[in-house]
């Protein structure tokens, strides 16, 4: 795109549009005034610029970008407020780095501090906002690539390159600091004429051939995906592979996506442990932590890994013992693998018998889970499993769920089995506080589909709730927030008796820092934003309350249903 002669701000918007970015999720400061000016300019249909959504808080803006990227597979942009805004955003940026979620993140800064000709950025820069090295230095550990533009001549090409780097393997957040002075400046250079976003290559054909041989020879292969469900097509290829092999597919306790249809007879639940005892080959697909500790892998079984970034360079330790490691885009690589494997095992009846056996185990497990939940239908306080069972029953066929829970997570991924691939996303990675933002980004990507957030009261407390509900209200993005309220932090309490079973805390029943009491009226917060809210304590009211919440969302209201569980203390 030729931006020579344009202002830096107009060039910025035009370049993002040219790179295919449709949304800017923003929580910016006053240094972005030049961009706001050009957002107000009328553009012709051929001059596409991104849509700008103001999020009121940096964690919400990065969370929205993450949810949007997860739901669409495309690249979003983020605008933040210089050093202080960047630091607010770093927890969410770290999560995007570890989850390999692409986004291109921009902050403003001042490098002239009013000493240069042109508009004066203001005295606040030296007094409140400036740090040695600028925002790019502060954020560097939490992103894939971080740079401060140091001359206006490099700004167009740097914006373009940042978009490319965010989408290159491993994908992740890329950070660029743009001086306010350059946004006012007239561009004397242009960006490269042709610059497309990169495509991840398929894995090495020789490696795929070797993996096909290993799978064909295996008598009891097991497949473990963890982040494969980033694309629906990859899940479809995995279904083909599992059915061809007659092999079970076992997700982990913390799947970030629907990696395999949970009603499929070959779905093996969310605990790989029991399957590893008899396996002779384990195939890991975009897996981060298939078992714990990493050294506790299967004994006597070979392990193969296929993923876009299988060795996880963002982690200080990986530690898995691997016999074959393939790096490549999973959907196309699985397609090639299926072709090679079909040639080797066509007409093998033993695999069909093996698949039938796994199907029986799948049915028995689902029946046990259903009986477990139904046995709790009258329990008071309400049990998580009953809530999730009822949510599964009333869930619209096109619903999307964003989960930000810890101790409730295993029940959610096991009992919420009607979700299709592309309809479940994790709302956190280590640090809590991004679930609502992620859900809003998913809603921006799928505005007509119902989006449900499953969240604990502890995680809810970490979220910028007022900012999130304000965005929901302002832009007409209703969410159904299903809160599992145990009045505290169960994950914090559970470690103490595990480590000190005969200790002071257990004997005196004194657990420090685990309670959230008295529990506030969370439902009132929703009503403050013209939403629907209610507190539920009776198990018989679980389904009616969920139905009322879904009805409110369908009418355009956000809704929050506060389910009271057993208190932590």
Pick the CATH number of 205-365 from 3.40.50.970, 3.40.50.1220, 3.40.50.2300, 3.10.50.40: 3.40.50.1220
- Cα of first residue to Cα of last residue in the chain, in angstroms, is 61
Q: Can you give the pLDDT at residue 370?
A: 94
Q: What residue spans of 375-448 are helical by DSSP H?
A: 384-394, 409-415, 435-445
**pLDDT of 513:** 82
- The pLDDT value recorded for residue 45 is 80
Q: What is the pLDDT of residue 402?
A: 98
Characterise 530 by phi-psi region: left (phi > 0), alpha (psi -120 to 50), beta (else).
Answer: left
Q: Which residues pair with 79 in a beta bridge?
A: 26, 106
CA distance 335 to 328: 12
Question: For residue 341, what are the contacts with CB-CB under 8 A and spacing of at least 6?
Answer: 212, 215, 216, 241, 244, 245
Q: CATH homologous superfamily of domain 378-564?
A: Thiamin diphosphate (ThDP)-binding fold, Pyr/PP domains (3.40.50.970)
Question: Which residues partner with 374 through β-bridges?
Answer: none
Rounded to whole angstroms, the Cα distance separating 118 from 184 reads 8
Token reading at 257? 């996506």
DSSP state of 127: I
| Domain ranges across the chain | 8-184, 205-365, 378-564
Tens digits of pLDDT across the chain (569 residues): 789 999 999 999 999 999 999 999 999 888 999 999 999 999 888 788 999 999 999 999 999 999 999 999 999 999 999 999 999 999 999 999 999 999 999 999 989 888 888 888 887 888 888 889 999 999 999 999 999 999 999 999 999 999 999 999 999 999 999 999 999 999 999 988 877 888 889 999 999 999 999 999 999 999 999 999 999 999 999 999 999 999 999 999 889 999 999 999 999 999 999 999 999 999 999 999 999 999 888 988 999 999 999 999 889 999 999 999 999 999 999 999 999 999 888 777 788 889 999 999 999 999 999 999 999 999 999 999 999 999 999 999 999 999 999 989 999 999 999 999 999 999 988 899 999 999 999 999 999 999 999 999 999 999 999 999 999 999 999 999 999 999 998 888 888 989 999 899 899 988 888 888 999 999 999 999 999 999 999 999 999 999 999 999 999 999 999 999 999 87
pTM value > 0.75: yes
DSSP class per residue in 43-87? --TTS---EEEE-SSHHHHHHHHHHHHHHHSS--EEEE-HHHHHH
> How many Å is the maximal CA-CA distance in the chain?
80
pLDDT for 297 equals 87
How many other CB atoms are there within 10 angstroms of residue 149's CB atom?
A: 24
For the residues of 164-231, what is the DSSP string, one character each?
HHHHSSSP-EEEEEEEHHHHHSBP-S---S--PPP-PPPPPHHHHHHHHHHHHH-SSEEEEESSGGGS
Question: Do 49 and 18 contact (CB within 8 A), yes or no?
Answer: no
| Helix, strand, coil percent content, the chain, rounded in steps of 5 | 45, 15, 40
8-184 shares its CATH topology with 205-365: yes
Give me the architecture of the 8-184 domain, per CATH. Answer: 3-Layer(aba) Sandwich (3.40)
CA distance 535 to 544: 12
Listed in sequence order, the residues at least 6 apart from 216 whose beta carbon sits closer than 8 Å to its beta carbon are 341, 344, 345
| Residue 401 Rama label (left phi>0; alpha psi -120 to 50; beta) | beta
CA distance 529 to 479: 12
pLDDT at res. 119:
87
Question: What per-residue confidence (pLDDT) applies to 123?
Answer: 78
Q: What is the pLDDT of residue 487?
A: 93
The pLDDT of residue 199 = 84
């Amino acid at each position: 795109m030729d931006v020579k002669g344009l202002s830096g701000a107009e060039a910025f918007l035009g370049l993002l549009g040219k790179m295919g970015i449709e949304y800017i999720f923003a929580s910016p400061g006053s240094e972005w005034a030049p961009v706001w000016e050009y957002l107000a300019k009328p553009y012709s249909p051929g001059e596409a610029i991104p849509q700008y959504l103001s999020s009121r808080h940096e964690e919400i803006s990065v969370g929205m970008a993450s949810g949007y990227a997860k739901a669409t597979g495309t690249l979003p942009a983020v605008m933040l407020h210089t050093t202080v805004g960047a630091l607010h955003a770093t927890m969410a940026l770290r999560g995007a780095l570890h989850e390999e979620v692409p986004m291109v993140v921009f902050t403003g800064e001042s490098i002239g501090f009013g000493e240069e000709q042109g508009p004066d950025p203001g005295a606040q820069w030296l007094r409140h906002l400036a740090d040695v090295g600028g925002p790019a230095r502060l954020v560097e550990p939490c992103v894939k690539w971080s740079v401060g533009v140091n001359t206006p001549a490099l700004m167009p090409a740097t914006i373009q390159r940042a978009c490319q780097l965010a989408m290159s393997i491993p994908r992740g957040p890329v950070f660029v600091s743009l001086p306010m002075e350059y946004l006012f400046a007239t561009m004397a250079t242009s960006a490269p004429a042709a610059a497309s976003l990169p495509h991840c290559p398929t894995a090495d054909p020789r490696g795929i051939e070797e993996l096909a041989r290993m799978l064909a020879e295996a008598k009891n292969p097991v497949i473990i995906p963890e982040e494969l469900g980033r694309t629906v097509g990859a899940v479809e290829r995995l279904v083909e592979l599992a059915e061809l092999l007659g092999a079970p597919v076992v997700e982990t306790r913390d799947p970030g996506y629907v990696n395999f249809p949970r009603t499929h007879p070959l779905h093996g639940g969310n605990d790989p442990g029991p399957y590893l005892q008899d396996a002779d080959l384990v195939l890991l697909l975009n897996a981060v932590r298939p078992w714990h500790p990493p050294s506790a892998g299967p004994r006597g079984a070979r392990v193969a890994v296929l993923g876009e970034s299988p060795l996880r360079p963002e982690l200080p330790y990986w530690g898995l013992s691997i016999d074959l490691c393939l790096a490549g885009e999973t959907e196309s690589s699985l397609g090639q693998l299926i072709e090679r494997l079909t040639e080797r095992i066509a007409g093998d009846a033993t695999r069909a018998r093996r698949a039938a056996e796994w199907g029986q185990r799948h049915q028995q497990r689902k029946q046990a889970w259903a009986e477990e939940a139904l046995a709790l239908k009258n329990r008071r306080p309400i049990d998580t499993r009953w809530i999730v069972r009822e949510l599964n029953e009333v869930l619209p066929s096109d619903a999307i769920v964003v989960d930000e829970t810890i101790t409730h997570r295993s029940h959610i991924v096991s009992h919420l089995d009607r979700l299709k691939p592309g309809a479940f996303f994790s709302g956190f990675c280590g640090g809590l506080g991004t679930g609502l933002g992620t859900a809003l980004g998913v809603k921006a990507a799928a505005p007509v589909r119902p989006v449900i957030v499953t969240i604990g009261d502890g995680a809810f407390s970490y979220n910028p709730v007022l900012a999130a509900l304000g965005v929901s209200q302002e832009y007409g993005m209703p969410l159904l927030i299903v809160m599992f309220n145990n009045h505290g932090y169960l994950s914090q309490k559970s470690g103490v008796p595990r480590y000190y079973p005969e200790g002071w805390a257990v004997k005196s029943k004194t657990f420090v820092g685990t309670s959230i009491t008295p529990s506030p009226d969370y439902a009132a917060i929703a009503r403050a934003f013209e939403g629907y809210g209610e507190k539920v304590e009776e198990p018989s009211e679980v389904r009616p309350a969920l139905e009322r919440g879904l009805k409110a969302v369908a009418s355009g209201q956000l809704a929050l249903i506060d389910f009271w569980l057993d208190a932590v203390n």
